[in-house]
């Protein structure tokens, strides 16, 4: 269906081409993969002959906009013996599937490692690549120097190896890192299959019979305008009671970044379904003969 094709196409384009879906920014071309480590280290440290001040990284407040805190980490760059192994394919976990991300780490040595990553926020996407330098055996930092940014502010991405996997924290998101709108690199990454918090959202809210009834009501629009919105978007629900005492649930489903893909659904325990969506001009649908509007109901506190 159209929306599913859009979602899958965006993800495929991100992986294949490394594009930034809803941003005019490009990947950080200032990083040259053929530049020797020694030359990069010399350029990185040029003009910084002052003695480093030791910083307790655990005391820093690493949040968006706190550039000075990230700079303190950057000033701790040093060669490291026997660093933790960062080389792997890392997948962002414990997020919705439309906020998935993958970071590939390679070429690790005593100075740092190379990385490249693809990141999603629903239909928005972004690509980021470069070299991160060690500040300790289990932490490295990447300096992002924008070429196509409105304010040209240098940003940072911290990589921390933990027992859970790889923890990534950036000084900003979206266009500040050359990414699409609302796209972030932050999160916990693991090797292997990630855990998506909405993986069973359809089955958790709708029985097999209810799904079949929705298919009968919506026909060819079922996947695009209901199932995909539930599985890849946001679903909110409220318990309610009809005037005759029938229990029901009122649902609001919507797909961020994709305007008209939203619906309202009243699902009653007696099997009655009342559905409305402006997507694809679906309008009003119900399995109740003669019904032209939602029955009166009261939301439970």
Neighbour count for residue 9 (Cβ, 10 Å) = 11
Q: Where are the domains of the chain?
A: 2-190, 201-299
Residue 285 in contact with residue 213, Cβ under 8 Å? no
pLDDT at 40: 43
What's the pLDDT band for 58 if we cut at 50, 70, 90? low
pLDDT in tens, 159-170: 999 999 999 999
Question: What integer pLDDT is reported at residue 65 of this predicted model?
Answer: 76
Do 234 and 251 meet the contact criterion of CB atoms below 8 Å apart? no
d(CA 270, CA 206): 14
CA 264/CA 238 separation, integer angstroms = 11
pLDDT at 237 over 60: yes
Helix (H, G, I), strand (E, B) or coil at 128: strand
Indicate the pTM of the whole model: 0.76
Q: Is-contact 232 263, C-beta < 8 A? A: no
Mean pLDDT, residues 236-261 taken together: 92
The neighbour count for residue 188, using CB atoms within 10 Å, is 19
């Amino acid at each position: 269906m159209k929306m599913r094709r859009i979602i899958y196409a965006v993800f495929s384009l991100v992986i294949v081409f490394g594009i930034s879906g809803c941003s005019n920014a490009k990947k950080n071309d200032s990083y040259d993969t053929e530049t020797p480590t020694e030359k990069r280290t010399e350029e990185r440290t040029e003009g910084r002959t002052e003695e480093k001040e030791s910083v307790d990284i655990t005391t820093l407040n690493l949040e968006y906009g706190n550039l000075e805190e990230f700079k303190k980490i950057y000033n701790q760059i040093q060669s490291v013996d026997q660093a933790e192994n960062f080389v792997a394919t890392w997948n962002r976990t414990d997020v919705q599937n439309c906020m998935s991300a993958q970071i590939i780490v390679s070429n690790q040595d005593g100075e740092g490692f190379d990385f490249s990553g693809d990141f999603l926020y629903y239909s928005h996407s972004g690509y980021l690549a470069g070299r991160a330098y060690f500040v300790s055996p289990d932490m490295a930092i990447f300096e992002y120097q924008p070429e196509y940014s409105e304010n040209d502010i240098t940003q940072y991405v911290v990589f921390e190896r933990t027992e859970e996997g790889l923890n990534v924290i950036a000084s900003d998101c979206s266009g500040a890192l050359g990414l699409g709108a609302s796209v972030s690199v932050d999160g916990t990454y693991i090797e292997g299959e990630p855990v998506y918090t909405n993986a069973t959202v359809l089955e958790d809210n709708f029985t097999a019979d209810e799904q079949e009834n929705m298919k009968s009501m919506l026909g060819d629009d079922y996947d695009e305008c209901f199932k995909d919105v539930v599985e890849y978007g946001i679903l909110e629900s409220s318990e309610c009671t009809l005037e005759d005492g029938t229990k029901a649930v009122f649902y609001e489903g919507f797909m961020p970044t994709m305007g008209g893909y939203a619906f309202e659904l009243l699902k009653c325990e007696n099997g009655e379904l009342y559905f409305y969506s402006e997507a694809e001009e679906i309008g009003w649908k119900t399995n109740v003969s003669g019904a032209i509007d939602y029955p009166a109901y009261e939301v439970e506190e």
